[in-house]
Structure 1
Amino acid sequence: MYDVQTGALQKIFQGHDGGVWAMKQEGDILVSGSTDRTIRIWSISSGECLHVLRGHTSTVCCLAILNPATTSDGLVMPERPLIISASRDSTLRVWQLPNPDDLPTYQANSSGDDVSSAYLLNVLTGHQNTIRDIAAHGDTIVSGSFDCTVRVWRIPTGQTVHRLVGHTQKVYTVALDHESRRCVSGSMDNSVKIWCLDTGSCLFTLQGHTSLVGLLQFSHGFLVSAAADGTLRSWNPDDGTCKIVFSKRGGAITCFQHDSQKVIGGSDRTLKMWDINTGEHLRELLSDLTGVWQVQFDERRCVAAVQRNQLTYIEVLDFGARRDGMQDRGRRIVVDAHGCEIEGL
Structure 2
Amino acid sequence: MKLKRFLLRYYPPGIILEYEKGGFLRTKSIDLLCLTPETNPEELVEEIMQSEPLITESRADQVKQLIVRLQQKQGQKDHHRFCFFKDLRAHILPLTNVAIDKSGSRFITGSYDRTCRVWDTSSGRELHTLEGHRNVVYAVAFNNPYGDKIATGSFDKTCKLWCTETGKCFHTFRGHVAEIVCLAFNPQSTLVATGSMDTTAKLWDVETGEEVATLTGHTAEVLSLCFNTAGNQLVTGSCDHTVAIWDVATGRRVHTLIGHRGEIANVQFNWDCSLIVTGSMDKTCKLWEAVSGKCVATLVGHKEEVLDVCFDLSGQLVATASADGTARVYSATTHNCLVTLEGHDGEISKVCFSPQGNRVLTASSDKTARLWDVHSGVCLQVLEGHTDEIFSLVFNYEGDTIITGSKDNTCRIWY
Please confirm whether the aligned pair reaches a TM-score higher than 0.5, indicating the same fold.
yes
1:91 is the counterpart of 2:189: no
Query: Where does 1:140-219 land on structure 2 (aligned, <5 Å)?
Result: 140-179=233-272, 181-219=274-312
1:248 is the counterpart of 2:348: no
Structure 1 residue aligned with 2:216 = 125
Identify the match of residue 39 of structure 1 among 134, 159, 170. Answer: 159
Alpha-carbon deviations, 1:307-343, whole Å to 9, x = none?
Answer: 4xxx42211111xxxxxxxxxxxxxxxxxxxxxxxxx
1:279 Cα deviation after fit: 0.9
1:194 Cα deviation after fit: 0.7
Query: Where does 1:3-14 land on structure 2 (aligned, <5 Å)?
Result: 3-14=120-131
Identify the match of residue 29 of structure 1 among 116, 133, 149. Answer: 149
User: Partners in 1 of 2:272 and 2:386 — Cα distance?
Assistant: 41
- Name the % identity: 28
Q: Secondary structure at the match of 1:142?
A: strand
Tell whether the 8 Å contact from 1:204 to 1:239 is kept in structure 2 after alignment: no
Identify the match of residue 53 of structure 1 among 150, 173, 178. Answer: 173
Flag the structure with more relative contact order, 1 or 2, with Cα contacts below 8 A and sequence separation at least 6.
Answer: 2
CA distance 1:140–1:300, change in 2 (3 Å): same
1:2 Cα deviation after fit: 2.2
Alpha-carbon deviations, 1:190-219, whole Å to 9, x = none?
Answer: 010111122221111111011111111112
Q: Secondary structure at the match of 1:141?
A: strand
Number of corresponding residues = 286
User: Partners in 2 of 1:148 and 1:134 — Cα distance?
Assistant: 14
1:155 Cα deviation after fit: 1.1
User: Partners in 2 of 1:85 and 1:43 — Cα distance?
Assistant: 18
TM-score by length of 2: 0.66
Alpha-carbon deviations, 1:146-202, whole Å to 9, x = none?
Answer: 001011111112111111111111111111125261111111110101111222211
Alpha-carbon deviations, 1:99-137, whole Å to 9, x = none?
Answer: xxxxxxxxxxxxxxxx75xx2111110000000111112
Structure 2 residue aligned with 1:263 = 360
Identify the match of residue 383 of structure 2 among 285, 289, 307. Answer: 285
Instruction: Select the structure that is richer in helix.
Output: 2
User: Partners in 2 of 1:155 and 1:4 — Cα distance?
Assistant: 34
CA distance 1:190–1:266, change in 2 (3 Å): same
Aligned partner letter, 1:282: L
For structure 2, which runs of at least 5 residues remain unmatched after alignment? 1-117
1:4 Cα deviation after fit: 2.2
Tell whether the 8 Å contact from 2:323 to 2:346 is kept in structure 1 after alignment: yes
Query: Where does 1:298-313 land on structure 2 (aligned, <5 Å)?
Result: 298=396, 299-307=399-407, 311-313=408-410
User: Partners in 2 of 1:159 and 1:261 — Cα distance?
Assistant: 37
Tell whether the 8 Å contact from 2:184 to 2:192 is kept in structure 1 after alignment: yes
Which portions of structure 1, spanning 4 or more consecutive aligned residues, are displaced by more than 6 angstroms? Answer: none
User: Partners in 2 of 1:190 and 1:135 — Cα distance?
Assistant: 21
Tell whether the 8 Å contact from 1:271 to 1:287 is kept in structure 2 after alignment: no
For structure 1, which runs of at least 5 residues remain unmatched after alignment? 69-79, 99-114, 319-345
Tell whether the 8 Å contact from 2:277 to 2:310 is kept in structure 1 after alignment: no
CA distance 1:6–1:177, change in 2 (3 Å): closer
CA RMSD of aligned residues (A): 1.6
Tell whether the 8 Å contact from 2:320 to 2:351 is kept in structure 1 after alignment: no
Structure 2 residue aligned with 1:232 = 327
Tell whether the 8 Å contact from 2:341 to 2:372 is kept in structure 1 after alignment: yes
Aligned partner letter, 1:225: T
CA distance 1:28–1:180, change in 2 (3 Å): closer
Structure 2 residue aligned with 1:136 = 227
Q: Secondary structure at the match of 1:204?
A: strand
TM-score by length of 1: 0.79
Q: Secondary structure at the match of 1:135?
A: strand
Q: Secondary structure at the match of 2:127?
A: coil
